[in-house]
A and B are shown apart, each in its own frame.
Chain A
């Protein structure tokens, strides 16, 4: 039963990973052992997942499921990868909602909040290195778009959809122009 196998595989992937690129080795192992995908397919998929919105895990599940067993396969695989959210996180949500006003939780969060900010700052640094530098050279078009968007978000209070849309347009226009020169 291919649907059950898809569900089970992606449920395992969901429960044993913490999202993002950390899922890749697990996904590769499952895909190869079932012969659903080759390493090259997966590399292509990662490239596509970066171009499309949404979590990598969901994108992989949709792609592998659809390729293996059609649209229903895709749905089943996505439900599998979402099982941690529907079970474990639901339990955590019940627990957290009940205790979030407690004194102990306030103390814990006074530690965890700055940790969370630090993690985000670290992510920003990594992403900045990737997005603004290519082969050791700084990509001035990307830097320009970044600075413009920073201004629009901070000073003009632009919303995320607006920012994403206009930076896509800017990307097409500026990179095409620089290619012509």
Chain B
């Protein structure tokens, strides 16, 4: 009964989406489920994981494209990693791919949290959990850092990239300007730059 239902719903999805997209969508669901199991440290480790899976192994996107996805995903309201999942999934397999990626990425945390909800005092005060967590937190910086260095290689190659990066880094350190404001400033600067190039100021 349930297998007949599954087959039928599969046929419906293929009918609407085309077989290729459905396949890609399910692959995305599996991949992002795996990624979702290991996103500690505020979600930024998704960068390292996507680089390993999609840039190095599968070669679906380039480093620059991944960095672009992160910048756009960070600038849209909501949770960054689900936004990145949607942007990437849409590029690969339309809206179905996007939805698959988002569901894949949140599924592990939903499953884990639903279990923990029923016994969270045990976990909260558990000595072993605490030690394991300390260890994981120590690994988050190298994970994100190595991804940032690798993704930034191209950026650091140009003088313009170096200057912008350093200026924004200092700005982040001194002020508590929001990431969205920074990206918007960048977009404005890009348009100003174009205007100057086109009309000249001299």
Contacts and interface: CB of A to CB of B under 8 A. Distances in A.
B180 A153 contact: no
Main secondary structure of the interface of B (DSSP, over half): helix
Interface residues of B, number: 103
Interface string B84-111: 0111001100010011001001101110
Interface in A10-66: 14-20, 44, 47-48, 50-59, 62-63, 66
A150 B142 contact: yes
A108 B186 contact: yes
Contacts of B52: 159-160
Given A53-B36, A85-B78, A118-B164, A62 B67 contact: no
Given A116-B74, A122-B169, A85 B39 contact: no
A142 interface: yes
Nearest to A15: B77
A19 B78 contact: yes
A89 B87 CA distance: 7
Interface residues of A, number: 93
Given A88-B78, A92-B76, A54 B106 contact: yes
A75 B154 CA distance: 41
Centre residue among B91, B109, B151, B172 by max chain A CB count within 10 A: B109
Nearest to B197: A107
Contact of A15 (B78, B95, B143, B151): B78
Nearest to B110: A62
A2 interface: no
B71 A112 contact: yes
A74 B113 CA distance: 10
A118 B110 contact: no
A86 B138 contact: no
A29 to B, nearest CB: 17
B78 A163 contact: no
Contacts of A167: 135-136, 138-139
B143 A160 contact: yes
A69 interface: no
Contacts of A100: 65, 68
Nearest to B171: A118
A124 B141 contact: yes
A172 interface: yes
Given A51-B129, A112-B71, A120 B144 contact: yes
A163 B48 CA distance: 11
A164 interface: yes
Interface in A73-89: 74-75, 78, 81-86, 88-89
Given A14-B77, A18-B80, 8 more contacts: A18-B74, A54-B108, A74-B113, A89-B76, A89-B86, A115-B168, A115-B182, A164-B38
Interface of B: 34, 36-45, 47-49, 52, 64-65, 67-68, 70-74, 76-83, 85-87, 90-91, 95, 98-99, 102, 105-106, 108-110, 112-114, 116-117, 120, 123-124, 128-129, 131-148, 151-152, 154-155, 160-162, 164-169, 171-173, 178-180, 182-183, 185-187, 189-191, 193-194
17 contacts: A14-B78, A54-B108, A55-B39, A58-B79, A63-B116, A66-B117, A86-B102, A89-B83, A93-B90, A107-B194, A110-B161, A112-B186, A116-B183, A117-B152, A127-B144, A164-B143, A172-B128
